[in-house]
Amino acid sequence: MLNSNPYSRRDFLTHTGAAGLSVSTLSLLGNPLAANETIAQPMPVGKAEHCIFVWLGGGSGQIDTWDPKRKGDPQAKKPGSYYDSIDTAIPGTQVCQHLSRCASILDRFNIVRTVNHDVIDEHAAATNRVHTGRKTSGTIVYPSVGSIVAHQRGAAGDGVPAYVLMGYPNVTRGPGFLGTRYGYLYLTETKTGPKGISRPKELSQQRNQRREQLLTAVREGYLNRHKADQLITDYDAVVEQAQAMAGPQFARIFEIDREPADLRNKYGGEFGQRCLLARRLLESGVRFVEVSHNLNFLNGAGWDVHNKTIEDQYKLIEELDIALSSLVLDLEEKKMLDKTLIVVGTEFGRPASFDSGGGRGHQGKTFSMVLAGGGLKNGITIGETDELSQKIISRPVSIPDFHATIHAALGINPHEELYDNDNRPVPITDGGEPIRELFG
């Protein structure tokens, strides 16, 4: 997949620097408009080349993970954390006791404790909001963060997709108005790769070449007759990409048994193996990988811990802790951590109070998401919440701000405009500003 963005990282640096200089110069010269306005800061440009987006579907409770408070009691209906808190490698920052492995290396992380939006009781709408950065629209389908990264940066290697999804295939994760070529390759398992594009074993190389020659001729003829049909063009691009991935080179990425046994064991179970595969995909040149947790619902409900399902929530937290800490240390060992932005996201958080069954409801007004690596200034806790993690005390971070941070970390200008099917300009983020404290 080729990068269709003509706006290079060098251009980005040049133009943003020039813009900052020109505004400053106008102010010094007494420009009546600039003198009364805040001088625009150049957009930060990160050095990350890849992104692994870990998705905690169902709504991960910040008060039970990354933003613990006083201990509560579900039996007595006393609001508070479900678990004890522990110190971390970031002085003054505590996390849940079941995140002990991440706690010891939290100086490679940044916790953003004041992410917020206005969606409360609708999982699908909240999931769409966090993936696209925008409210659902009846007139336009917005692209996901993964598809925007694929559009702006393309794949970093030959014969691999820019965007791979190990999770739930739906429009929320899709390319929206950008078109099919910027969609995801969907993986259902980690051992063999996508079977739909694998070449049958009985098909010889010579026979396959004859088939490809015939297909090429058919494609070219059809494209020539339908040059103005974007849907046909996008479909052809997908066919070409699938052919490139049908060979043995792409299939070898999924041979996780090539990794040392002790490393595979450190990553843990199914979710951990998916995180290990994500690292291998990045090494091959994939730009953006989403890994969902937990596909098999260890507690019967995943992170949606209403009623008694909260009793086994610790199993999810521990599984996340094992896989996430192993991923960070593995990338660090391979000198890939500074070039890989890890994002841990969820659709909303959980309130401090307990429901009638001892579990928790939904909370969008403040919750936690996490960043790690990516060449950021790590070891910073962003934002402060009240004594029950229900209100923002300082440094709110909107979903567009969080998206802008991801894009800036990957060298993408979050204010750049894309164009929808009606050729209307749509900024990459909905007015989002990067968390500048995280950029050097």
Cis before 294? omega within 30? yes
- What token pair was written down for 102? 């991440």
- Angle CA 340–366–86, to nearest 5: 70
Q: Are 364 and 82 in contact (CB under 8 A)?
A: no
Q: Cα separations (Å) of 14 from 11, 39, 52, 436? A: 5, 17, 28, 19
How far is residue 266's CA from residue 188's CA, in Å, rounded to a whole number?
A: 22
Residue 216, pLDDT score? 72
Residue in the block written with tokens 């060992």: 333
Count Cβ atoms below 10 Å from residue 435 Cβ, excluding itself: 24
Residue environment code for 376-389, b if the CB has 16+ CB neighbours within 10 A, otherwise e: bebbbbbbebeebb
The number of residues making up the chain comes to 440
How far is residue 314's CA from residue 424's CA, in Å, rounded to a whole number?
A: 47
How far is residue 59's CA from residue 129's CA, in Å, rounded to a whole number?
A: 13
- What token pair was written down for 152? 């702006």
Q: Are 108 and 378 in contact (CB under 8 A)?
A: yes
At residue 193, φ and ψ (nearest 5 deg) are: 85, -175
Q: Are 132 and 430 in contact (CB under 8 A)?
A: no
Residue 194, pLDDT score? 76
Residue environment code for 343-363, b if the CB has 16+ CB neighbours within 10 A, otherwise e: bbbbbbbbbbbbeeebbbbbb
How far is residue 67's CA from residue 114's CA, in Å, rounded to a whole number?
A: 10
Q: Are 154 and 162 in contact (CB under 8 A)?
A: yes
Q: Are 64 and 81 in contact (CB under 8 A)?
A: yes
- What token pair was written down for 15? 């133009």
Consecutive 10-residue averages of pLDDT for the chain (440 residues):
41 45 39 47 95 97 98 97 98 98 98 96 95 93 98 95 92 95 87 68 70 72 70 65 70 93 97 97 98 86 95 97 98 98 98 97 98 98 98 98 98 97 95 96
Residue 89, pLDDT score? 98
The maximal CA–CA distance of the chain, rounded, in angstroms, is 76
Closest CA to 44 of 374, 418, 379, 417: 374
Helix (H) or strand (E) holding 55: strand 50-56
Residue 203, pLDDT score? 65
How far is residue 241's CA from residue 184's CA, in Å, rounded to a whole number?
A: 11
